[in-house]
Amino acid sequence: MLRIVDRPGTGRGLITEVPFREGDVVARIHGHVYRTHPTRTTIQAAVGRHIDDLRALSCINHSCDPSTHVDVTALTVTAVRDLVAGDELTYFYPSTEWAMAVPFDCACAGEKCLGRIDGAWRVPTAVLARYRLNAHIRELAAARDAADLL
Ligand SMILES: [Zn+2]
């Protein structure tokens, strides 16, 4: 149902071979382990807790206009819009990552592209508010904003 693709220039990605409706579970995270530190392929589940051994799901690329949402509590990847066969699965990395091990410059070229992607810590709350976020990111952003007011 999902297929890893390797394209010159853009590298590996994950595409769907079947259509999904908005809200559908596209994939489930299972068989994983938790690490205490982030790597290039982990997904953050909480402070000091990073999901590793994601197999094909480690190939989901970032987009500032993502096609899926990764829920680290439900351990699901859900479609945030209707998807057709051939669509790439992407998610908004700062929705799970507070501070990324390997920051990069986004090439999504979207109108609202954030450019440098290095985790939610540097993204203004007004921008984060455009996205569905995991609980630990909402909590860390709230704590950051509270500290900024001191
Ligand atoms: Zn972008």
CA distance linking residue 46 with residue 43, whole number of Å: 9
> What CATH code is carried by the domain that includes residue 37?
2.170.270.10
For residue 47, report the distance from its CA to the centre of ligand 1, in Å. 25
Tell me what the mean pLDDT of segment 71-98 comes to: 98
Number of domains into which the chain is organized = 1
For residue 18, report the distance from its CA to the centre of ligand 1, in Å. 25
pLDDT at res. 45: 98
Tell me what the mean pLDDT of segment 67-71 comes to: 98
* % of the chain with per-residue pLDDT over 70: 99
For residue 63, report the distance from its CA to the centre of ligand 1, in Å. 5
Q: Are strands 104-105 and 88-91 parallel, antiparallel or unpaired?
A: unpaired
Tell me what the mean pLDDT of segment 65-81 comes to: 98
pLDDT at res. 122: 93
Smallest CA-to-CA distance from 104 within 128, 137, 113 is with: 113
41-57 pLDDT, tens digit per residue, is: 999 999 999 999 999 99
For residue 150, report the distance from its CA to the centre of ligand 1, in Å. 32
pLDDT at res. 63: 95
Q: What is the pTM of this model?
A: 0.94
131 falls in which pLDDT band (50, 70, 90)?
very high
CA distance linking residue 29 with residue 46, whole number of Å: 15
pLDDT averaged over every residue in the chain? 95
Its domain, for residue 54, covers: 2-148
pLDDT at res. 148: 79
pLDDT at res. 109: 80
The dihedrals phi and psi of 14, each to the nearest 5 degrees, come to: -120, 125
For residue 124, report the distance from its CA to the centre of ligand 1, in Å. 15
